[in-house]
Structure 1
């Protein structure tokens, strides 16, 4: 008779907080011995089907992970079902016969990509046109310009002859763009986080250029905060439109069509030329690819809440955010056969519009002020038009970023602001970074290039669109508000430390 030796790991460490059960050819088998954190089972030497169930003592977080093995007539062990959390079996000879050693890594994350894709079908409870009819009014702006659901979630499609920001972004006193064809190389996943708070889902883009194989270094990350969701609820978004009473109904989170489309898919990809046709789609993945920088994107899905920081509760807390980023790294490493667990690499954060308030939840949280993630790991922050019209609102996140920039590993920190606000009115806050900006459009930066302001007023965008004969006229601040993050992340990353 042979032996099957099973053990579990949580966050890279051996754990006794789990139990294993197996069945051989359909019959349950009891463990014959428990040695430290290992469960030891007696199994046949040949011709057996083995089912394994590894159950954590924290089922809400880690759940149960299964696996299947087959022992052939010659005693060879072959996995027939081995999810990413299981290391490949190691078979060792022993006086009692062959010993098969297996290790399972419990993860709080679940791959929800296919569920997310299916929920983009234009039939969900919060999709305009679902019975009964949505609230009256013109809702055509909610209709996507591409077929839904997509045939696949990943890889994202190539874009051809598409506008990308130039380098430098301002040349001869005007915004510079270039037409490019960009193909995202890498894996896009939607992962489910444990618990009932927010975010419950994150989208992840892992570029092919970021190593994952055994021996890979810690991965660099960019956490990007899309706008807070609650501000859109009164207009009929992020809730079941059949509800006519409670403007904060959230019974469609996180799987409702609005959350899946506006919260995840549309920020990830382009759905037309971002300058000339459809600036509402941000193309974060395409911009990362175009920048040539190697950084992993994490896009949390906020949940509409009248308390802003409760839209991304766990991502506002350094302890939890560090844990989740390390778990994402480990999850993606395991998909490449790398079972190491450790700290992440360089971290950046970006935010668009009211997403600056979500970022500020992290920067100003008292519990985070002495945490290494905020002080040292977080090395770059990008603000994309925190507010289209109110300079006073833009000053608030700038003040928070200025405070962060002076603490911890301050000498190497990078901060970028892209705004349509008049830079003259921002002068009191810019002085905190040691910057003075002239008349827009303009680019100003500190002597070391680590702090910068790029002023992008409406007139400059209008002139650019007219010259290129685009269908977006840029005659109001809302249109400019949308295009800034749809183009300028490429510039921020080109000048990053990644």
Structure 2
């Protein structure tokens, strides 16, 4: 007889928090013949065996029951078949006088790949899709999906752009904003992952650039967590108009409702038209990452409508949760490339746009986080993209938290960047603490001598002048239009100047 030895790992450590069963040649599922420490040992036929394996985690909500299948032919050759989740490395097979020993390990993951479900949730189907706009003609959805086919044919890789506007380097020269025309084709992998048992975010989109190694022995991956604006401002209570968040396929609203999927995820993962000339509402974050030639993994949590901003992002406002889930994202993406190592992530950055600053403030302002190593040392870069288009007081709130974070832990290597159309003079006291002095007049880029901290002042008039020069269909005649174009272009500048 041969032996099948099964073990489980959680967070890279061998665990007993699971129960293994197998079915041989179509029989009933049975438990192990013996258990030695963390190993479940089964006696199995040497040849001509078909074996179905179930690994039931004790925490079913979080880890589920991964499965695997083994075929042992008449010569004793072992052929393994695994689901596409990547949780099983190839079996290790050894032979001795007493017969074969087949060792197999399962890596329990709290993440589920739901990329395809996210893709089909963007289908324009169903009698109630996706709700009627408040103005006639009824059912005209063109205002929601300009120039993009839905659902997308594939989620990954994100579509490239040809002759599209990108921010130049430097972004300000001769008292004017500088742009350039470039073609960029993302070469990485984009996935949507579900976090079972978590209130919010239940989904995160991940973009893993091809330049970030997934090979065994490679370095820890750098990460950028990006907080998009809160979803509550798109709810009926805010607009006093019908906004349907119903997904006709599943009957759910969050997280697979059409509005959540389009406005919360897809709109940030691609450009839909030129981000300056035609449509600054789509942010093209993977394109900006690749355009900056910086290798950093994007994590985009999907917020949910809630009365309190911290409830929109509840779990990701907790450093302990991030300390768990960011390495799990890294491990999952490693396993998809055949690398089964588990360990800490590399350099961490956070970015926020508009009311997304409230989610960032929930993290930075959480007193429990402020003694956590992830806050003190792992988090090394923070970018604020126009926290509020019109109110300096709203910009002061996240800047206050960023200034406090910058002075704690490994403060000598931290980077903070603010991109705003607000009057920088009113931000001077906090900017001084970051070592930045606003020179005026705007537009300008002011930075510390080592360029670790910076303020880029990008007022309405400068964008309006650039739009006239470039022949933009968007005139940048109001602060709302400028509010949208800042994150659509300036992440490239932040990353180009980063330590990633």
Contact in 2 for aligned 1:274/1:281 (Cα 8 Å): yes
- State the distance in 2 between where 1:20 and 1:135 align: 55
Residue deviations 1:161-213, cap 9 Å, x none?
Answer: 00000000011111101100001011000000021400000000011110111
CA RMSD of aligned residues (A): 1.8
SS in 2 for 1:189: strand
Q: Which residue of 1 aligns with 2:46?
A: 45
- Measured against aligned partners, the alpha-carbon deviations of 1:305-338 in whole angstroms (never above 9, x if no partner) come to 0111000111000000110101001111111111
Q: CA deviation at 1:96?
A: 2.6
1:87-486 correspondence runs (5 A): 87-123=89-125, 127-128=129-130, 133=132, 135-136=134-135, 140-233=142-235, 234-235=238-239, 240=244, 252-437=253-438, 438-486=440-488
5+ long unaligned stretches in structure 1: 243-249
Q: Distance in 2 between matches of 1:96 and 1:111?
A: 41
Q: Indicate the SS of the match to 2:474.
A: coil
CA 86–166 in structure 1, closer or farther in 2 if over 3 Å, else same = same
Cα 1:331/1:284, change in 2 over 3 Å: same
- Count of residues in correspondence between the two structures: 489
Normalising by structure 1, we get a TM-score of: 0.95
Deviation per CA, 1:73-118, whole angstroms, max 9, x where unpaired? Answer: 1110011335400010010113331111000000000000000000
Cα–Cα, structure 1 residues 126 and 356, in superposed 2: closer, same or farther, change >3 Å? farther
Give 3-state SS (helix, strand or coil) of 2:61's partner: coil
Residue by residue, what CA displacement relative to the aligned partner does 1:208-240 show, whole Å, maximum 9, x if unpaired? 110111111111000000001111212379963
Distance 1:116 1:44 in 2: 42
How far the C-alpha of 1:268 sits from its partner, in A, is 1.1
Shift, 1:434, TM fit: 2.3
Give the whole-Å Cα distance in 2 for the aligned partners of 1:192 and 1:125: 27
> What CA distance in whole angstroms lies between the structure 1 residues aligned with 2:36 and 2:105?
14
Partners of 2:429 and 2:82 in 1: CA distance: 61
Q: Does 1:12 align with 2:20?
A: no
Aligned counterparts of 2:437 and 2:99: Cα–Cα separation in 1: 76
| Helix, strand or coil at the partner of 2:445 | strand
Partners of 2:241 and 2:202 lie apart in 1 by: 18
Instruction: Tell me, yes or no, if the aligned pair for 1:190 and 1:203 is still in contact at 8 Å.
Output: yes
Output the CA distance in 1 between the equivalents of 2:427 and 2:478: 21
CA shift in 2, pair 1:30/1:448, >3 Å:
closer
Partner-residue secondary structure (3-state), 1:31: coil
How far residue 453 of structure 1 moved from its aligned partner, in angstroms, is 0.4
Specify the alignment match of 1:246 in structure 2.
none
Distance 1:432-1:169 versus aligned 2 partners, 3 A rule: same
Assess if the C-alpha contact under 8 Å between 2:226 and 2:300 holds in 1. Answer: yes
Which residue of the partner structure matches residue 247 of structure 1?
Answer: none
Query: Does the C-alpha gap of structure 1 residues 237 and 173 become closer, same or farther in structure 2, counting only changes over 3 Å?
Result: farther
